Amino acid sequence: MIKDQDYLKKTASYCIDLANQLGATSSSAAVMHSISETVNFRNKKLDESDRSDSLGVSLTTYVGKKKSSISSSNLSEKNIKTLIQRCIDTTKITPEDEFNSLPDKDLLATEIKDLNLYDNDHIDNDEKIEYLKEVEESACEKKEIINTETSFSETKSNFILANSDGFSNGYKSSSFSASCVAVAKNNENMERDYEFTSTCHLLDMAKPNQIGSIAAKKTIQKLNPQKIESEKISIIFDRRISKGILSTLANAISASLIARGTSFLKDKINEEIFSNSINIYDKPNIIKGLGSRYFDSEGVKTEELKLVDKGILKHYLVDTYNGKKLNLKSNGRNGGSSNLFFEKGSISYKDLLNLNSKNLYITETIGHGSNLVTGDYSVGASGFMIENGVFKYPVSEITIAGNFKDIFKNITLANDLEFKYATNAPTMLIEGMVVAGK
Amino acid sequence: MSNFFNKSDLSRKDAENIVSETLNNCDDGELYLENSKSESIILDDNKIKSSSYSSDLGYGLRAVTGEVVAYSHSNEISRNSLKQSSENLYSTLKSKKGTYNHTITKTNEKFYEDINPIEEKSLNSKLELLKEVNNYTRSKGAIVQQVTASFAGEHKFIEIIRSGGEILTDVRPLIRFNVSVMLEKNGKKETGIYGIGGRQSYDEYLKNDNWKKVCDEAFRIASVNLKSKPAPAGEMKVVLGPGWPAILIHEAIGHGLEGDFNRKKTSAFHNLMGERVASEGVTIVDDGTLHKKRGSLTIDDEGTPTERTVLIENGILKNFMQDRLNARLMNTKSTGNGRRESYQHVVLPRMRNTMMLNGKHTQEEMIKSVDKGIFAVSFGGGQVDITSGKFVFNCTEAYEIINGKIGSSIKGATLIGDGPSILKEVSLVGNNMMLDPGIGTCGKAGQGVPVGVAQPSILINKMTVGGTRL
């Protein structure tokens, strides 16, 4: 059973009280508990079951403007005492930093509106197995599929965040997810692809036969890829990839990178960084949203932000510490964005594919080729060549490259936005990137 | 030494009994206990940004029968908790008819000392040193806009209790020191990152001004990148420098030679045992026995002593890297590659220090032989798709080669290649093998483990360079 709020609150306030007794001028503590059960299936047989029970505490203590933190999964009273003493000792010899402090009291979350982030339903491992069998059976209906690996995971979590200014709040959340990875073979070529579903509530999960058949279809499509010539070509990002543009944006406008001066978007506030048709929202209060939250990791209330308005950057993602450095108030984004998304575009998916006579449609990128200091971007990619709106043949072993400053200004969005992840974008056309192939 | 049982209502005898009972009729499995301490101190933007310390304790109980693994872990070491884990495993493994394999090799050899690097050096001296690092690096000129420097230290004690009460233990120190510099000149910004580390005390790395070399190197890489021009795009010859660029070996073929992917036949290498997979002269080993190196282990996380495993000998595929489960199912023995990130994770076959051994050519020879290509000296991260074999890695320091001479530096570009064929494209192997400085972390199935890589300079006939210049 997941620990209740009372237990977590007691532990958190014990830590805060003890820290204060030992000489902290202020402190904050988080106590988290989660239980998750995962079943993995492979080729229609049970492969692995995993149960995880983890309870942890983390504490930050301040002595004036000095700060230090500890964390532990060993919650014995003796260990906690030793660690808090150690934390205070460390704090005292750590140099002062004028920007260190708890969040402003008037910014702390007070009202909590229920966003329905917790589903008490439990699904037994035997039922998870039934679901996965169905996933694999529908994937294996296609004869090219030679291997399937599927997984079903259920997690229940609860936490309390407390600080010495009297804040003490937390909430339960749940997550159910299932995935299917398929391998297809044709002659000597093997390809792999996947499909998944991830939701807060059990009943919102996709049907197993959907997961299996989509995974199989996507995998088979990739068989016998070609390498193409190096050229400048218009690129379409599938929704799996297009959301990555928003993740890059979120990282580049985090107050920590802005304050350190290591973002290519430094000093771009109130400037046009996207074309004027683009609007971007970060909305923490979506019911059952995968990125929803009641407050940020410091307890600061989070409100909806229109980050980009008609192409113009309106906000950074601000936490308390970096906010003080930049002379900005925290907007409750310690821990990053919440439900981040592009407002959908005005043309259909089909029309987007037809905007140019030839497009390279990207379904997967590999590598960590985003440089946030310069905005340079270069990653490995695979996908499909599209001619006159029709998928012609799969493409692999190529790279795509450009600079985010140019990429941002050359985006056209389709109207097929869906909320499958915490960060979501519609299918996206980008002009002017370079493909390296043969 | 840690005693997992003295503060618990669970006695060692109880634990041994529960383990033996749970593993009855199983092929393998164990109780893995872990007590780890870690610290991280980060200086950034002229200030100590964070100093944190973490103390973690927990266990993972694993039962293996046939191909099925049942795992349950918790951070509460108590009778109730272990009983509950045992019941979880029972409910998964309803029909089990295995025979427990008691054989496990023992070793007296140790590849690092029983030290706790965190406690060996006072916090004050670490804070002072970071301040010195900051001052020294910033004194290199006004173009230095940002400096980040950090220490990370870890002390991990593990104990493995097998069915029948057999016990194996290991104490693992690990440290890392890292410097990142951002320079700005004429409106252009570039970063340089360098670090060192391994399984020993901080002092080994920080005496004799060794830390200054780390700062110098980070500054040098950033300076080179300030002068860089856009990278070319397309297929060309690539010379890789020695040391860290061996992450190409790690990504391109290392992962593909891990036992699990080959047992499941999802690796592009699964049917190539005994066949030529690389040019003649290419020999690759995975070695867990190098003294005090980041990827070394005295015993792996199943208790098997590590070894030097020959993967490819003179171009011929000789061995896969195995943990006990995959070894049993493939009728071979564990090579001591069974690893896990922590008690919260299941064991998987993972790399240790993966190395391409010396050939007889010089780097100079290689560069001279290239008309048009690039010389890649340092990399950020890499990634591989095991099934298709396609892999990438990102250059952080690279130069053009034109008519046998090194030209100007080029912007960070991704290189992409095909794992099973890339080693057949290696035409020259250098005589200057070098280990990486001790900074690698390998990710697989959501688990990160410390690894090392090594290689001499090599010449690759063709790879695709992901630049923007056509």
Residue A117 is part of a domain; what is its CATH number?
Answer: 3.30.2290.10
Rounded to whole angstroms, what are the CA distances from A134 to A128, A155, A158, A193, B95? 10, 21, 31, 18, 22
Q: Tell me if B286 sits within 8 A of B337, measured CB to CB.
A: yes
Question: Average pLDDT, whole number, for chain A?
Answer: 96
Same domain, A25 and A142: yes
Contacts of residue A396 in chain B, CB cutoff 8 Å?
388, 390
Same domain, B242 and B369: yes
Same domain, A164 and A234: no
Same domain, B250 and B332: yes
Number of domains, chain A? 2
Structure confidence at residue B52 (pLDDT): 95
Q: Which among B49, B182, B388 has CB closest to A190?
A: B388
Tokens of A405: 């400053």
Amino acid at A336: G
Domain end point (choices A163, A190, A221): A221
How many Å separate Cα A168 from the centre of its chain?
Answer: 26
For residue B412, the distance in angstroms to the closest alpha carbon of chain A comes to 8
Whole-angstrom distance, CA of residue A131 vs CA of residue A207: 9
Structure confidence at residue B301 (pLDDT): 98
Same domain, B202 and B251: no
Structure confidence at residue A423 (pLDDT): 98
Same domain, B272 and B132: no
Same domain, A189 and A202: yes
Same domain, B398 and B299: yes
For B64, nearest residue in chain A (alpha carbons): A48
For B4, nearest residue in chain A (alpha carbons): A74
Best B57, B186, B392 member to test A by mutation, with max A CBs in 10 Å, is B392
Structure confidence at residue B207 (pLDDT): 79
Domain around A373:
225-438
Question: Cβ contact (<8 Å) for A380 and B383?
Answer: yes
Number of CB atoms found within 10 A of residue A154's CB = 22
Question: Cβ contact (<8 Å) for A53 and B235?
Answer: no
Structure confidence at residue B2 (pLDDT): 62
Best A7, A38, A52 member to test B by mutation, with max B CBs in 10 Å, is A52
For residue A231, the distance in angstroms to the closest alpha carbon of chain B comes to 7
Same domain, B253 and B205: no
Whole-angstrom distance, CA of residue B177 vs CA of residue B117: 12
Whole-angstrom distance, CA of residue A191 vs CA of residue A206: 24
Same domain, A200 and A296: no
Structure confidence at residue B456 (pLDDT): 98
Structure-token match 């169905």, residue found: A134
What is the mean predicted confidence (pLDDT) over A18-27?
96
Same domain, B203 and B324: no
Same domain, B222 and B242: no
Same domain, A253 and A328: yes
User: Does residue B24 belong to any structural domain of this protein?
Assistant: no
Return residues 58-77 of A near B (CB < 8 Å): 67-76
Question: Cβ contact (<8 Å) for A48 and B464?
Answer: no
pLDDT band for position A20 (50/70/90)?
very high
Domain end point (choices A194, A221, A248): A221
User: Does residue B282 belong to any structural domain of this protein?
Assistant: yes
Q: Which among B51, B56, B233 has CB closest to A90?
A: B51
Best B36, B94, B414, B422 member to test A by mutation, with max A CBs in 10 Å, is B414
Share of chain A above pLDDT 90, in %: 96
User: Does residue B22 belong to any structural domain of this protein?
Assistant: no
Q: Which among B55, B69, B413 has CB closest to A83?
A: B55
Same domain, A33 and A96: yes
**Three-state secondary structure call for residue B207:** helix
Same domain, A53 and A65: yes
Same domain, B267 and B175: no
Number of domains, chain B? 2
Contacts of residue A73 in chain B, CB cutoff 8 Å?
55-58, 75
Same domain, A49 and A189: yes
Beta bridge pairs of residue B147 = B181
Closest C-alpha to B4, from B56, B64, B54, B70:
B56
In sequence order, the 6+-apart residues with CB closer than 8 A to the CB of B152 are B38, B39, B40, B175, B176, B178, B197
Closest C-alpha to A133, from A200, A262, A39, A220:
A39
For chain B, residues with pLDDT lower than 70 are 1-2
Whole-angstrom distance, CA of residue B162 vs CA of residue B293: 28
Structure-token match 């209790």, residue found: B161
Domain end point (choices A193, A221, A249): A221
Structure-token match 């259920």, residue found: A154
Domain around B142:
117-157+171-226
Same domain, A265 and A355: yes
Tokens of A372: 């946030």
Same domain, B340 and B444: yes
For residue B383, the distance in angstroms to the closest alpha carbon of chain A comes to 5
**Three-state secondary structure call for residue B150:** strand
Beta bridge pairs of residue B335 = none
Same domain, B293 and B222: no
Q: Tell me if B389 sits within 8 A of B268, measured CB to CB.
A: yes
Whole-angstrom distance, CA of residue B214 vs CA of residue B226: 19
Whole-angstrom distance, CA of residue A181 vs CA of residue A193: 6
Contacts of residue A232 in chain B, CB cutoff 8 Å?
470
Same domain, B275 and B150: no
Q: What is the interface size between A and B, counted as CB pairs within 8 Å?
A: 251
Whole-angstrom distance, CA of residue A53 vs CA of residue A35: 5
User: Does residue B188 belong to any structural domain of this protein?
Assistant: yes
